[in-house]
Copies of this chain bind each other. A is one copy, B any other.
Amino acid sequence: MATIKEVAKEAGVSVATVSRVLNGNGYVHEDTRKAVDAAIKKLDYRPNEIARSLFNRKSKLIGLVIPDITNPFFPELARGVEDFLQEQGYRLIIGNSDENREKEINYIETFIQHNVIGMISTSGEDTSLWEALKIPVVLLDRVTENYPSVYADQAGGGRLAAEILLARGSNNITLLRGPQHVRTAQERFLAALDVLGRSNAVFQVVNTSFSFKGANETAKQLFDMYPETDGIVASNDIVASAVLREALKRGKNIPENLQIVGFDDIPVCELLYPALSTIHQPAYQMGAEAAKLLIENILHSSNEAKQIVLPVSFKERETTRKVEM
């Protein structure tokens, strides 16, 4: 790697001058600029970001902590973040926290050590982690008040899911509740519960985890306990898939006798047969918005607690009945 010193020598100028043309600062004569540019090109010089970073006390690096890249909802989010950042010349350091506080702290520490200039986190449960940080933080998906946040309208989604089922004629509805410590899950649940409560449909609640393993078991119990159920509001798409599988196994006709609505709209949905009707969260867009907000806050060195709520929508596929308009 060529250094600025070599470029300076090649161009017959001082390093200060090279630095100026590099950054477009200060005065530099047109001819000098040309000579420097030529030297840069000739030596295929690229500034050492580390040295820059040391001097400026900031880098071009952004930290991203997600619970688990292996959960299909998050890659979509991450991709949105990455694409936006990449475009703006920033780079991503990524860490999987497994919803584990220790791990997240560990990542945050090394982010700081690397002069990361901002971070995006998807675990708003514990705000104390970032309060000490002097870099902008944006919360994504799992958010908290008073912090810059980007999330999808969970309550709206929960409501929508319940309404969809009601409007399409289910009247013995099972509402699946995700992990209670996951805020998004809780919000969806509460909103759906509210809608159901105001309806005259029969309904019941069943607790689920968010992973397929547990969900499979839960699905069995669900149909054992409530064989009459004709509509299911799932806590997320993974759980919905498990329920769908179990229902198919038991020979249920879907959507004729049983309707299912998922949540998230992960890519899997389209792969299933029948394809899963679900509440779509604009994950990619959420990621991009979060990145955008973060960059704004970095540039204005503010940490404005803007709340960006993105709308969800119903993705009608094959596990719900058509309704004539």
Contact = CB atoms under 8 A, between A and B. Distances in A.
Contact of A93 (B72, B91, B112, B267): B91
Contacts of A110: 49, 60, 91
B54 A82 contact: no
State the copy count for this chain. 2
Interface in A26-64: 46-51, 53-54, 59-61
Nearest to A237: B271
Which of A47, A91, A238 has most B Cβ within 10 Å?
A: A91
A242 interface: yes
Interface stretch (A73-81, A138-146, A149-157, A228-236): A73-81
A321 interface: no
A6 interface: no
Nearest to A59: B50
A292 B319 CA distance: 45
Contacts of A268: 268, 271
A82 B267 CA distance: 23
Interface residues of A, number: 51
A94 B94 contact: yes
Which of A68, A271, A272 has most B Cβ within 10 Å?
A: A271
Interface in A151-186: none
B95 A86 contact: yes
A212 interface: yes
Contact of A79 (B1, B50, B70, B112): B70
Contact of A273 (B115, B248, B275): B248
Contacts of A244: 273
A27 to B, nearest CB: 27
A23 interface: no
Contact of A212 (B78, B115, B270): B270
Nearest to A78: B69
A114 B212 contact: no
A92 interface: yes
A131 interface: no
A297 interface: no
A96 interface: yes
A245 interface: yes
Nearest to A56: B50
A109 B89 CA distance: 12
A59 to B, nearest CB: 7
A113 interface: yes
A198 interface: no
Given A72-B267, A75-B70, A271-B242, A94 B82 contact: yes
Q: List the 6 closest A-B pairs by CB distance, nearest first.
A: A241-B271, A49-B113, A69-B75, A248-B273, A245-B273, A50-B53
